[in-house]
Structure 1
Amino acid sequence: MNFHKQKLFNYTALITLSAMTIACGGTEGKTETEQDSEQMKDRIELVQDDAAKKVDVIIDGKFFTSYIYPDSLEKPVLYPINTANGNAITRGWPVTPRPGERVDHPHHLGLWFNYGDVNGLDFWNNSSAIKDKTKYGHIVHKSIKSVKSGNEEGILEVSLDWVNNAGEVLLTENTTFIFRGKDDQRTIDRIATLTAPNGEVKMTDNKEGMLGLRTARQLEHPSNKPEIFTDASGVATGVPTMNNDGITGMYLSSEGVEGDDVWGTRGDWVSLTGKIKDENISVAILDFPSNPGYPTYWHARGYGLFAANPLGQKALSDGKDELNFKLAKGESATFKYRIIIYSNETVLDGQVNRDYIEWAK
């Protein structure tokens, strides 16, 4: 077993043990004092585990997600992400594979934030599958700045570096995650400030970006034919036709665009509706009006990639728009997104739009 596979194997064991520990909670065998103490805990609890390189997020005693940063990954991610009923909306592979799911694009894991062209380096496609790293960058977790639990929200602040293969820092990233949950709804705010500390950074228009979520198989669109997708370097990845039993996903954008036609369009938000087991689920990603490149282009594919890309305008508009975003030395830019996971309901466009207006104002 090679180094990266051993790392992933060890981390899979940690995730499994953590889930078992959470699942085995309860009051049986505990004293009244212990039960009273648990009742006084914050509803939204963040549990920092430096040894396992993660921070777990627990809402009303149920696992929601983890911020993970093992050495085996090329960027920190939120993984897995669960609904209020405990169903994972994220794909398991390559960390914890599940029967019947796809095994393409190993860099698609959980919820992440990076880009395909940063001073000519590809941060998006980097993974343990890449052997020659000279043309790739990776994101290094530097520190946890703050961890706060609470009854209304939990807040995690982290510091990251975007580095080249020589370890030179191109961008620093200071990100705040805000986790909320009530009844059947879960919310993640991801607010990232990128700064160019050592010189100009060019983020040339590229379709591979930027806030990405890889969904569980059940939330994909039914696959009608095999397809091949090519990255900016010309590397092709085949996505085969698969068994469509239980596959129910459907995109809808703020502009009324549906299904695979969402790809390459702009909009304030996109929702993805589907069903896992008996749970009706909708996942929405919301773009904030002050973000660079607003309103974002959507790099959303029916095979399970759900991404907002505000910087890839030329690639996603077939040349009609062009941005070529850059930061001068010392300059910063902030990217703010909200991810909402609705459970036990099929959310129509009116509901997501109301939630968007309330948040964006």
Structure 2
Amino acid sequence: MLFNYTALIALSAVAFACGSKETKAETEHSAEQKKDRIELVRDDVAKKVDVIIDGKFFTSYIYPDSLEKPVLYPINTANENAITRGWPLTPRAGERVDHPHHLGLWFNYGDVNGLDFWNNSSDIKDKTNYGHIVHKSIVSAKSGNEEGVLKVSLDWVNSKGEVLLTENTTFIFRGNDDQRSIDRIATLTAPNGEVKLTDNKEGMLGLRTARQLEHPSNKPEIFTDASGQATDVPTMNNEGITGLYLSSEGIKGDDVWGTRGAWVSLSGKIDNEDISVAILDYPSNPGYPTYWHARGYGLFSANPLGQKALSDGKDELNFKLDKGQSATFKYRIIIYSNETILDGQVNRDYIEWAK
């Protein structure tokens, strides 16, 4: 009986040890399974949410008090090249230093009940005729294997802090080995009375690109904003400047400005990486298909509401929201790496998304 009892103890010990090893292995495997490819890292002290894809930095949602609106900045390709201009936050050598309100990827407008949200920046001292967008809260920040989803609440306010519009926006971040994408879905609501978004060329979804993605320019230019302020944009060294716009209507280069289209792409090179950035409009958006406020000096913007200004008076919208009324604006931004997309790739991606 003693032999059998000892053998039983030994067998039990072996079984326990094996079971322990299996449990540890299963735990490690489970931890690996739970690790998300697309991580949203929230930092309330720094007032930002970082987006990391496969261990590489993609972008940050930032909302410091020094900015007149929250933005996504910077934005990187899958190879970690920044497609956004660094100035004014982190200047790089050789960049233009015009239009300080052009930062990262943003969403606002040049005429909201007569107030200019678009041109507001730290350079504007008298804020009476300007509005700014206040980050109110992060509703949720969810990491995931296929996508990361960030939901935020914002207020569009005047210089007295009175709310004209509330904004509830969802960002959806995706990525793979050679592509990154952002869906920006914004619902604007007029909680306190009628809000007029009168036709104005300064709008609405804007991206300021890195110098390499600008169009080569051989002459100095002066650009005037909605408030009449002129900014000199001098001729610069065109070495490595490779940008080219292409619209869904087959229009290329600077001719894209002031035309309508379901999408526009901007292609070029940064550090020998073939890059294309596409902005896609959505069929249910107000003013679809959008007009494009796209400039060769690096402003890449979809403006569905500025129809009179951008069509030379041929079209006119004068969009407005009655008290309690809402409107949703949905866009997708795709950053393609290591490939050219002149073979119709953007159009195929657009059809798949829009359907």
The normalised TM-score by structure 2 is 0.91
- Letter in structure 1 aligned against 2:107: F
- Candidates 281, 293, 301, aligned match of 2:275: 281
> Which residue matches 1:310?
304
> Which residue matches 1:223?
217
> Which residue matches 1:8?
none
User: Residues of 1 paired with 2:104 and 2:341: CA distance?
Assistant: 22
- Candidates 284, 292, 298, aligned match of 1:290: 284
- Letter in structure 1 aligned against 2:91: P
CA deviations over 1:6-29 (Å, ceiling 9, x no partner): xxxxxxxxxxxxxxxxxxxxxxxx
- Letter in structure 1 aligned against 2:96: R
- Candidates 129, 133, 141, aligned match of 1:135: 129
- Letter in structure 1 aligned against 2:151: E
- Candidates 297, 313, 324, aligned match of 2:318: 324
Aligned-residue sequence identity (percent) comes to 89
- Letter in structure 1 aligned against 2:94: G
Displacement, 1:41? Answer: 1.1
- Letter in structure 2 aligned against 1:168: E
Displacement, 1:205? Answer: 0.1
Displacement, 1:34? Answer: 8.8
The question of whether the paired residues in 2 share the 8 Å contact of 1:252 and 1:349 is answered with no
Q: Please state if 1:63 is matched with 2:57.
A: yes
CA deviations over 1:1-54 (Å, ceiling 9, x no partner): xxxxxxxxxxxxxxxxxxxxxxxxxxxxxxxx9999567410000000000000
What does 1:228-243 align with in structure 2 at a 5 Å threshold? 228-243=222-237
Q: Please state if 1:110 is matched with 2:109.
A: no
Secondary structure at 2:40's aligned position in 1?
strand
The question of whether the paired residues in 1 share the 8 Å contact of 2:119 and 2:226 is answered with no
- Candidates 206, 212, 219, aligned match of 1:212: 206
- Letter in structure 1 aligned against 2:331: Y
- Candidates 79, 82, 97, aligned match of 2:73: 79
Secondary structure at 1:267's aligned position in 2?
coil
Change (3 A) 1:120 1:65: same
User: Residues of 1 paired with 2:86 and 2:136: CA distance?
Assistant: 26
- Letter in structure 1 aligned against 2:222: I
Q: Please state if 1:189 is matched with 2:150.
A: no
CA deviations over 1:311-343 (Å, ceiling 9, x no partner): 000000000000000000000000000000000
Displacement, 1:233? Answer: 2.0
> Which residue matches 1:168?
162
Secondary structure at 2:324's aligned position in 1?
coil
Secondary structure at 1:181's aligned position in 2?
strand
The question of whether the paired residues in 2 share the 8 Å contact of 1:189 and 1:337 is answered with yes
Q: Please state if 1:244 is matched with 2:238.
A: yes
Q: Which runs of 4+ in 1 moved over 2 A?
A: 33-40
User: Residues of 1 paired with 2:121 and 2:29: CA distance?
Assistant: 44
The question of whether the paired residues in 1 share the 8 Å contact of 2:213 and 2:266 is answered with yes
User: Residues of 1 paired with 2:194 and 2:128: CA distance?
Assistant: 20
Displacement, 1:235? Answer: 1.2
Secondary structure at 2:344's aligned position in 1?
helix
Displacement, 1:183? Answer: 1.5
Q: How many residues align?
A: 329
The question of whether the paired residues in 1 share the 8 Å contact of 2:169 and 2:186 is answered with yes
User: Residues of 1 paired with 2:167 and 2:234: CA distance?
Assistant: 36
The question of whether the paired residues in 2 share the 8 Å contact of 1:254 and 1:349 is answered with no
CA deviations over 1:191-214 (Å, ceiling 9, x no partner): 000000000000000000000000
User: Residues of 1 paired with 2:310 and 2:298: CA distance?
Assistant: 18
> Which residue matches 1:335?
329
What does 1:33-48 align with in structure 2 at a 5 Å threshold? 37=31, 40-48=34-42
User: Residues of 2 paired with 1:72 and 1:38: CA distance?
Assistant: 39
- Letter in structure 2 aligned against 1:249: G
Unaligned runs of 5+ in 1: 1-32
